[in-house]
Every structure is written in C-alpha cells, then in structure tokens.
C-alpha cells in the first residue's frame, strides 16, 4: 500500500527536471480539464519539452489557467486560438478542444507549420480524419491522436501474453467501459451535445475498440449495434457486436449512464472498466484498461484452473519509470518521433483512420447519424 501511494503521488505530481538548451515548445489550444494530466504534468518531467503558452476564448479564463499551471504566456478572446498558432516560438500544438473543433484547429495548426497532438477522438468521422493526416503528410509534420493506453507497458504485456501462444488462438473478446455520467458530468456537458461531437461511443468507445484491434491485429466488421439515447442522435449507451479476423466475435459496451445504485448492489458501481480476451486454452483480462498507470490488474486463467495476476508499470526494455503515467510514455514517444528517433510505441495515421471507420460504422448500424462534418474549408 505504501508503494502504491508513493507511486500515485509521483504520477500525479511528477518532479520538474532541468530542460535541454532548446526544448520543444508546446502551446495549449484550449484551457481544458484534460491538459494538466495529458501534457502539462508529463512535460514537467521531460527534459526536452516546455509548455509555454495557452489560449482560450475567454481572456480571463486563459490568464487564470496560465497562472494556475505556471505557463508563462497566454492568449485570449476571439482571436486567441489564432494568436497562439501565429506564435513563431511554438513547435507543437496540443488540441484539447471539443471533438467538433478538432478538425478545424488541427488543419489550421498544420497550415501554420506546427506539429500537433490532438486529443481522441481525433475527428468527428473518418473523412475528416483522412483529410487531417493527408495534410500532415503534405506538410511533413507529425500529427498524433493522443490515445494514451497504447503507449503504456500494460497493453504490451497483454499483447505479449496473447502472442506467446500458450493460451492458443483468440476465440472471443468482451469489453465494458461505463461511467456514472449523471453524477460525474453536468447536464450540459459537451459529451451530450451532438453538434460538438458528443456521445458515449465518441467519448468512451476509442478505448475498448482500439484495444481489441491492437490485441487481435485485425480490423472488425460491425455485426449489430444498439443505442440508448439521451437526446436525438446522442447515445448515452451503445452496445455493439464486432467480428474480427478468423470469425472472432467481440462485444463492446460503452455507457455514460451507469446506474450507480443499481438493484441488489451493496456498494455503488460508479465505473465498469474490464476487458477480457478468451482463448482456446484460457483467458486474459485487464481491469482498468483506460487508465492503467493509476492501477490495473492483468489476470491470466488457464483451463487447468491456474490463475496468475500481474501488474506492469515499467517496460522490461526501453525507457520508463514505474511512476510514469501513460501520458508520460506517450509524450516520450512523441518527442522521439520529432527528434528523429524510433519511438518504443506509436499510433499511425492508418490506425486513427481505421478507428474512426469503425466508430462511423457502429453509428450507422445503430441507426444514429454520424457526428457532423465540420464546415471549415467547405
């Protein structure tokens, strides 16, 4: 327990390290709630990254945010976002805006000559995603969709267990990602706004779907999808059946409306975050796959009744510390890419495009409209 507390303290409040002579300078587009964990704290403990500016639509909000997180410069007002992109000292832009704004401001950032880290989901649909990566390639810039579990050693351990072969071939997969949305989010939260790219599948779906695609090394077809809506075209719960290579069935449930005080529960269930892969000779399951750096359990069960539980916070090879968050691992790979080194893990353009293809297909199969394409550049 003492080791756990010590690790969590360092993960959530990492040390500030001495910077290199010319570190990569990062600007935050949006004074978002995700940015402190996603980029500000990881940058503190990376010697080659410095967060130097933040922009928000509200000038006082930008100033307050900059002061709180010790960011030297801020831009605010109607021109705040563009002022940040025009900042000649910046190398990288981190985009933590609502989903519907990802396309416009990523395209503008790339056209301004900036490398981009864009929060997941990278766009509102597959077509936008293709355009974004096409422009990045044309400009010779790095664009990364920041889905942080892919960079944490826990997911690699899951993959290694499956690929090692002693459990046999995959026969079935199952994942549930549910949050007690009625308590955790306000009624007007952007997750519930169709025009802003909202919906449970958009917010939570990238986690289980991308895990399954990675672990099975294949792309699925959507067999069925059923949505429970909060409002028109905005899903608060989505259950979909996917079919991966070799006819591997998979069930994915994402839920922003968990009944925390559901029937016959002695304790409230605020989250449900388990992913299981069943194989011919056993199974492997990971608990808390969305945020493995905080705490996770990888449980392997074999047909003969043996059970093994593992936790992996540091890779056996490559860079990393036990207290590194998944976001810190992600930042390490991003910097390696920009500096011309081979990152330990990476998310390709094809990966992001295929992820949005699956999400689009699930929405279509459920009878809901795709998230609206941006009018920017139309």
Among 148, 184, 188, residue whose Cα is nearest residue 37: 148
Q: What three-state secondary structure class fits 264?
A: coil
Catalytic-labelled residue, pool 41, 108, 114, 120 = 120
User: 145 forms bridges with which residues in the sheet?
Assistant: 118
Q: How many CB atoms lie within 10 A of CB 144?
A: 25
User: 231 forms bridges with which residues in the sheet?
Assistant: 234
> How many angstroms separate the CA atoms of 214 and 346, rounded?
12
- Which two tokens mark 279? 């194989």
Query: Is 18 annotated as catalytic?
Result: no
Do you know the residue count of the chain?
378
Q: What three-state secondary structure class fits 314?
A: coil
> How many angstroms separate the CA atoms of 90 and 27, rounded?
7
> Would you call the peptide bond into 56 cis, given omega within 30 degrees of 0 as the criterion?
no
Residue whose tokens read 């976002």: 81
Among 329, 299, 301, residue whose Cα is nearest residue 313: 329
> How many angstroms separate the CA atoms of 52 and 40, rounded?
10
- Which two tokens mark 226? 């059923």
Instruction: Please give the backbone phi and psi of residue 95, each rounded to the nearest 5 degrees, phi first.
Output: -110, 110
Instruction: Please give the backbone phi and psi of residue 73, each rounded to the nearest 5 degrees, phi first.
Output: -135, 150
**Contact assessment for residue 294 and residue 277, using Cβ atoms and an 8 Å cutoff:** no
Q: Pairing relation of β-strands 24-29 and 49-56?
A: parallel
Instruction: Please give the backbone phi and psi of residue 257, each rounded to the nearest 5 degrees, phi first.
Output: -140, 30
**Contact assessment for residue 132 and residue 106, using Cβ atoms and an 8 Å cutoff:** yes
Positions marked catalytic: 120
């Amino acid at each position: 327990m003492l080791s756990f507390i010590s690790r969590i303290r360092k993960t959530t409040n990492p040390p500030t390290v001495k910077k290199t002579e010319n570190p990569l300078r990062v600007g935050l587009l949006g004074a978002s709630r995700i940015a402190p964990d996603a980029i500000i704290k990881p940058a503190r403990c990376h010697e080659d990254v410095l967060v130097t500016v933040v922009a928000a639509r509200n000038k006082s909000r930008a100033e307050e945010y900059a002061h709180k997180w010790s960011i030297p410069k801020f831009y605010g007002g109607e021109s705040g976002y563009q002022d940040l992109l025009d900042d000649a000292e910046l190398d990288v832009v981190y985009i933590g805006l609502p989903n519907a704004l990802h396309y416009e401001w990523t395209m503008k950032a790339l056209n301004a000559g900036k490398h981009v880290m864009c929060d997941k989901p990278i766009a509102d649909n597959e077509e936008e995603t293709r355009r974004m990566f096409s422009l990045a390639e044309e400009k010779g810039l790095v664009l990364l969709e920041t889905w942080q579990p892919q960079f944490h050693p826990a997911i690699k351990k899951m993959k290694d267990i499956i690929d090692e072969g002693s459990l046999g071939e995959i026969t079935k997969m199952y994942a549930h990602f549910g949050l007690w949305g009625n308590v955790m989010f306000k009624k007007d939260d952007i997750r519930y706004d169709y025009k802003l790219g909202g919906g449970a599948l958009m917010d939570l779906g990238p986690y289980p779907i991308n895990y399954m695609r990675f672990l099975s090394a294949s792309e699925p077809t959507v067999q069925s999808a059923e949505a429970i809506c909060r409002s028109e075209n905005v899903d608060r719960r989505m259950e979909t059946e996917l079919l991966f290579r070799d006819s591997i069935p998979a069930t994915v449930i994402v839920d922003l409306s968990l009944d925390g005080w559901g029937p016959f529960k002695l304790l409230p269930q605020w989250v449900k975050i388990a992913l299981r892969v069943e194989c011919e000779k056993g199974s492997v399951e990971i608990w808390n796959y969305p945020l493995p750096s905080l705490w996770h359990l990888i449980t392997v069960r074999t047909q003969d009744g043996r059970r093994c539980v593992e936790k992996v916070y540091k890779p056996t090879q490559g860079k990393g510390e036990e207290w590194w968050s998944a976001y810190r691992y992600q930042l390490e790979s991003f910097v390696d890419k920009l500096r011309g080194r081979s990152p330990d893990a990476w998310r390709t353009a094809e990966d992001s495009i295929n992820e949005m293809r699956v999400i689009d297909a699930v929405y279509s199969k459920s009878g809901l409209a795709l998230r609206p394409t941006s009018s920017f550049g139309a």
